[in-house]
Amino acid sequence: MSNPLSAAVIDWFEHNGRDLPWRRDGFTPWGTLVSEFMLQQTPVQRVLPRLEEWLRRWPTPADLAAAAPGDAVRAWANLGYPRRALWLHRAAEQIVDRHGGVVPDDVDALLALTGIGDYTARAVAVFAYGSRHPVVDTNTRRVIARAVHGNAEPAPPRRSDLADMEALLPDDDVEQAEMNAGLMELGALVCTARRPACEVCPIADQCQWLLAGSPPYAGPRRATQKAYEGSDRHVRGLILAALRGSDTVTAETVEGLWPDPVQRDRALAGLIADGLVVPASDASEPCTRYRLP
DNA sequence: TAACCGTGGAC
DNA sequence: TGTCCAAGGTT
């Protein structure tokens, strides 16, 4: 049984959903898992070429687990948040160790893997294996906030988001997966953050926010994100970009990347603590070079 | 739990 | 031009 909202979303998705690699027949669970890692905070269009290259090079978890972590960081290229590359490599090792090299289909087993949280675990379980779970990402939360709750913007993520989505899921196995994917797609293509295209929205006639006259957001202001320019993240990014470009980088080169020695050292120490950078000491010399793990 | 973690495109 | 945003997760 399916409610009017999910029926409209599913019908729209069947006709308007994008032709993306992870929606094609024959795409593997491992491919789904890799794509979900890459899509964490990185736009679809930037993921596509890196995903294709990654899966050609490491078509199974065992292939990635056998590689050096640094190769994963390098192949991650400019997708951002390079810790995800490290975590994906670690998850591949765990899949080999715990699950015989097969991506698990169980949400709890997926949640136990490094770098996998509420969203990714359910996305893999639903999209790779077809089991029935609410999949809630930022798109889903925004559509539900508007269509169901009548708010212009969603509240910060919370556990009740899963129940909200669960309430919208059809019982049918195929339809629940399409509803999960369709609501995300609707948020990505139509019910966008900045300028929602309500004039073409398939659920406009059911949207509580639109029916209320599209009132502006009334909740508390979200914390504005800190400037990237000049931040520690900026410095980390510069150091890592240099390391992606060559096997090793000298301390002298690192010094040339950023003028402030305190911030530079803090960024480098952070990268080392995260396991993204390794001091490569020569046997006869003090540590003056760095490399990827 | 709030802060932290990259990068680039859109406006 | 600076701000916002993007299929989150970890500590």
Domain CATH code at residue A248: 1.10.10
Q: What's the CA A77/C1' C1 distance, rounded, in angstroms?
A: 28
A224 CA to C2 C1' in angstroms comes to 13
Report which residue is nearest nucleotide B7 when distances run from CA to C1'.
A80
Q: How far, in Å, is the CA of A82 from the C1' of nucleotide B6?
A: 7
In this structure, are A191 and A262 located in the same domain?
no
- Domain carrying residue A176: 138-211
Flag whether A20 is in a domain.
no
State which of A127, A152, A184 marks the end of a domain: A127
SS3 A249: strand
Residue A78: CATH number of its domain = 1.10.340.30
Q: Which residues touch strand B (CB under 7 A)?
A: A 41-43, 46, 78-83, 156, 194, 223, 226, 228, 231-234, 236-238, 240-241, 270
CA atom of A251 to C1′ atom of B8, Å: 28
Strands (E), chain A: 248-250, 278-279, 289-291
**Spatial distance between the Cα atoms of A77 and A243, rounded to a whole number of angstroms:** 11
Domain CATH code at residue A182: 1.10.1670.10
Closest nucleotide (C1' vs CA) to A80 is: B6
Query: How far apart are alpha carbons A105 and A111 in whole angstroms?
Result: 11
In this complex, which residue's CA is closest to the C1' atom of nucleotide C5? A193
- As annotated, the active-site residues of A are 36
Give the residue carrying structure tokens 């050609």: A56
3-state DSSP helix/strand/coil percent for chain A, to nearest 5? 55, 5, 40
Contacts 24+ apart (CB under 8 A), A41-50: A41/A80, A41/A81, A42/A79, A42/A80, A42/A81, A44/A18, A44/A20, A44/A188, A46/A78, A46/A79, A47/A79, A48/A20, A48/A21, A50/A75, A50/A76, A50/A77, A50/A79
Which nucleotide is nearest, taking the CA of residue A267 and each C1'?
A: B5
Domain boundary among A98, A127, A156: A127
Joined tokens for residue A216: 């502006």
Q: Is residue A7 part of a domain?
A: no
Q: Verify that A196 and A123 share a domain, yes or no.
A: no
293 residues of chain A, pLDDT tens digit each: 579 999 999 999 999 999 999 999 999 999 999 999 999 999 999 999 999 999 999 999 999 999 999 999 999 999 999 999 999 999 999 999 999 999 999 999 999 999 999 999 999 999 999 999 999 999 999 999 999 999 999 999 999 999 999 999 999 999 999 999 999 999 999 999 999 999 999 999 999 999 999 999 987 777 777 899 999 999 999 999 999 999 999 999 999 999 999 999 999 999 999 999 999 876 666 668 999 99
Q: Which nucleotide is nearest to A158 (CA to C1')?
A: B1
Please give the Cα distance from A122 to A116 (Å, whole number).
9
For the CA of A21 and the C1' of B2, the distance in angstroms is: 36
Q: Output the six-digit token pair for A149.
A: 């709750």
| Domain membership flag for residue A90 | yes
Which residue's C-alpha is at the least distance from the C1' of B10?
A: A194
In the prediction, which pLDDT does A287 show?
66
Residue A34 lies in a domain: yes
The pLDDT score that the predictor gives to residue A85 is 98
| Coil, strand or helix at A225 | coil
Tokens of A72: 């994963």
Q: Is residue A216 part of a domain?
A: no
Q: Are A151 and A203 in the same domain?
A: yes
Q: How many domains does chain A have?
A: 3
Residues with CB under 7 A from strand C: A 20, 22-23, 35-36, 39-44, 80-81, 87, 114-121, 123, 137-139, 142, 181, 184-185, 187-188, 192-194, 222, 224-225, 227
Structural domain contains residue A92: yes
